[in-house]
Amino acid sequence: MRLDKYLKVSRLVKRRTLAKELCDNGRVQVNGRTAKAGTEVQIGDLLNIRYGSRMMSVKIANILEQVRKEQASDLYQILGEERIAGTVDKAFDEEDDLED
């Protein structure tokens, strides 16, 4: 499955267009490498996602084409989450505020 679609289906990111923007701006890594939106992801891959002032590390546990909202968190395992001090990208920080 494409990385941008996985981020949307798993609800790690609210919209697929935002997921694509994050990837295009180099804010998503797959297994330690900066990834584009079209990068194929597999079960077991490690994702590092930086958006707003937050950095999240997750491991892909499952890949499904469609998922109910209640089951979305079963698609990944959060390995770590931290706030990043310093400059904040306002465009992505506003999206971050919506998720909290």
CATH code: domain 3-89 is: 3.10.290.10
What gap in Å lies between CA 94 and CA 74, rounded to an integer? 26
pTM for the model stands at: 0.80
Taking the chain (100 residues) in runs of 10, the rounded mean pLDDT of each run is 94 93 94 94 95 91 92 93 71 48
| Domain ranges for the chain | 3-89
Query: Which pLDDT score, from 0 to 100, does residue 92 have?
Result: 52
Strands 76-83 and 33-34: unpaired
What gap in Å lies between CA 45 and CA 54, rounded to an integer? 20
Query: Which pLDDT score, from 0 to 100, does residue 52 have?
Result: 83
Contact indicator for 49, 27 with CB cutoff of 8 Å: yes
Query: Which pLDDT score, from 0 to 100, does residue 98 have?
Result: 46
